[in-house]
A and B are shown apart, each in its own frame.
Chain A
């Protein structure tokens, strides 16, 4: 065992269990572990990103029990027993989710760093409002920052994705 081995534990840690992308998972975690850390570091689901430390950028958005949530803003323990889905769980095999497809068709991403959060957030918008206007999309994205696209094509993607999700 090397010195950096994360399995070397000093005290007994609590166990957290949840369903992530349809699979049940259960692990010992330090109580202060954030959900995003748990997803990225314990489960290796690195599609969920961290872009800030003040809960503002939305790079970390996932779905918890079907609703969008900033995974940097909740503890893994708070997701105990929940059904969590991340960007990795959206596509069915090689078939992209219509919202993913819409981002690709409309050049809604450049560096891709904000993208997982944008897509997860957009899907939740359509869940609550299946025919959003441009203005509604822009307001909904209040908690999602993108530095690359100027938002023009993200908004276009989400409008197209909303339509496609109905179809």
Chain B
């Protein structure tokens, strides 16, 4: 039996190289004869480019070439496509203005690409760029959504005069309105989901190379999904056929969604590498990352909840404006729609739901998926609203949740907003969380805090997310332009060691360990006999990459299916060698055995026989043990759980201390408990960061005021608590591994728990609302205002 199979907290396979400084991140890669690129970016949020004068810059020391948007346009470089088409309420398709990799005629946000300078050194490229003179006609910029929607706003895209990308709806408006007619209470709320900057610690980078002898392009890039980049950039932007385009992303220093998208720099560098016939490297500075990595969240929402006398939810009405930024990024349109409104039932039985979403172009960086993507926005709204309902009806926040929760015998549960939840037990994780957080003992802790002049509060949040993206038919019906299968190739080598090629991507999640555990379990071998290969379109057949907590839920079963094919074939081989009938051969714990006898062959013996046999039924079975599988899940998977936060607020200073943070998550089957805990902890820090620290701020001219670590407050070790994390799982029903996904749960469940806790603490002082990030200043001001 494998000692490193499913469920074991195996130490990570990948750690040794990271701990000894031998990771292989994109910026670590250098090619012979490599040049360096600096990208000149727009200093204005909105301007017409009247002219670009590169004469002086071209003469600068070391400068090899300079290209502008006009050069790319004259080469007929295509527009960067959006992967998800949403339809308006009236059935017409969303507005999809052109998204040229390099701005042409007009710049639309601070940081928009204007020119690429290629030089012998990075410093020379940068120095050269300073000699370019661009004549801009500065235009009035729309930064907030209200600016874009106002009558005198200029269009961000001339062909979209309304600045509205789409105006979409989900749910039954009539039945929901009817529910409000019958309601005993109506609770209303307005919330803003603060705009965030993802800030993976590794800035984006790329090294592009064109080989004129073979006509092949190679792009090393910091991406979560190399095949998606190959498809989008190859087929749509640069028209390079896939056999001539190789995308590699080995080690990537965190993604959190921000490295899903096909970024302009990837296309610019690849295109330019053929122009100069030398490899080109570009690495973003952190300040560049702030103004070019897609941002997250940025919703403004008003919502009403209808309740009957007893506190039962009758209907929910939601109206959201979502900022989509200056361009439609790869998944930008799916985030505020199908990853958001479809979750509006939460873990509750609300029978009538209607949600409308307007997405708005602004002169800001594109907004797209960031850890949780749509689901944190939904959860924040719901759980703030439920708490407000508890307050206004006088029902205890625990009771009101219990009263409305979907029960474990109601699955599969069809929500009124398209999704069907497969399986779960929400009351179970809820009760466990209350216990684990010692909810009952809160009153004593509160009076202890009060005796020290502090306000103490406890906040609850439940959540559900749909992940394991995606069941392709459903995704297609929802507007995805591609199916979201995952593929795997499992190659057993002649001596029984194994290489797995997966189309998902590991950038911190520990796939090299957990996927190996899965294979170890299947073959009865150990993790150290398995190598996981990912992140190279030249090695891996195909894949859709890693996001939406899909790797184990979609990529895992593909690996499992390929392993099963191997076992089937190996049984045939074993039967031949053992001179038995195939139906008599059993495979267990790494051994092929004829049932009821001691005649057996090890996995390694059969592997060897598969490749270098003397005696082989070549007519019936091909040699080799190498199988492919594609997998498409039956349904999304639905992790859910309960997060409880306890805070102490100093009313004199507004300072907040998190005294306890408890998360009980149902993530389905746990492959490696150590890694699962780590994933939850990391997500919690990002969620708590959103609630307390992080917020992107632009001034009205579109300059990013939070453009460095001096202004954008990142979670640090001394402002994060220890986390009380555990899982309470009901095995998933949407895939054969029974997993649900864990990457995003922490960031989804935690922000409302924090804010609910703060509001609970400040309730006696008359504070009933606070926006994220709840900085000490904001808290102090809210207290002053309420007094």
Contact = CB atoms under 8 A, between A and B. Distances in A.
**Is the pairing of A and B real?**
yes
Interface size range of chain B in the complex: 35 or more
Given A4-B35, A54-B710, A147-B714, A100 B121 contact: no
Contacts of A107: 11-12, 674-675, 677-678
Interface in A97-134: 100, 103-105, 107, 109-116, 119, 134
Nearest to A115: B18
Query: Of B123, B253, B722, which is in contact with the most chain A CB atoms at under 10 Å from its CB?
Result: B253
A54 B709 contact: yes
B12 A32 contact: no
A2 B64 CA distance: 12
B241 interface: no
Nearest to A140: B717
Contacts of A150: 681-686, 715, 720, 723, 746
Residue from B19, B251, B286, B686 whose CB has the most chain A CB atoms within 10 Å: B19
Contact of B15 (A40, A41, A103, A116): A103
A60 B678 CA distance: 23
Nearest to B19: A100
B159 interface: no
B286 A54 contact: yes
Contacts of A111: 18, 200-202, 251-254, 507-508
User: What secondary structure prevails in chain B residues at the interface with A?
Assistant: loop
Interface stretch (B25-33, B388-396, B467-475): B25-33
Contacts of A75: none
A138 B717 CA distance: 5
Contacts of B201: 49, 51, 57, 59, 111, 113-114, 145-148
A52 to B, nearest CB: 4
Q: Which of A10, A30, A138 has the most CB of B within 10 A?
A: A138
Interface in A13-70: 30, 32, 40-41, 45-54, 56-57, 59
A6 interface: yes
B130 to A, nearest CB: 15
B715 A4 contact: no
A53 B253 contact: no
Given A4-B33, A4-B278, A110 B19 contact: no
A145 B709 contact: yes
Contact of B682 (A30, A53, A86, A110): A110
Contact of B121 (A6, A54, A103, A112): A6
A96 B120 contact: no
B285 interface: yes
Contacts of A53: 285-287, 708
A41 B199 CA distance: 24
B453 interface: no
Classify chain A: how many residues form its interface, as a range: 35 or more
Contacts of B638: none
B2 interface: no
B718 A139 contact: yes
A152 B681 contact: yes
Contacts of B509: 110
A8 interface: yes
A29 to B, nearest CB: 12
Contacts of B91: none
Nearest to A41: B30
Nearest to A87: B21
Given A51-B202, A110-B510, A148 B16 contact: no
A118 B251 CA distance: 18
B678 A88 contact: no
Given A47-B23, A50-B27, A113-B254, A104 B15 contact: yes
Contact of B508 (A32, A88, A142, A148): A148
Contacts of B278: 2-4
Interface of B: 11-12, 14-23, 25, 27-28, 30, 32-35, 61, 64, 120-121, 123, 199-203, 251-254, 256, 278-279, 283, 285-287, 507-510, 674-675, 677-678, 681-686, 708-710, 714-718, 720, 722-723, 746
Given A147-B256, A148-B254, A150-B683, 13 more contacts: A46-B27, A49-B201, A50-B27, A57-B286, A104-B12, A109-B15, A110-B508, A111-B200, A138-B720, A148-B508, A150-B681, A150-B685, A152-B722
Closest 6 CB pairs of A and B: A47-B21, A112-B18, A113-B253, A150-B685, A111-B508, A110-B508
12 contacts: A3-B33, A45-B21, A46-B27, A56-B710, A107-B677, A109-B15, A109-B19, A111-B254, A112-B18, A114-B201, A144-B717, A147-B200
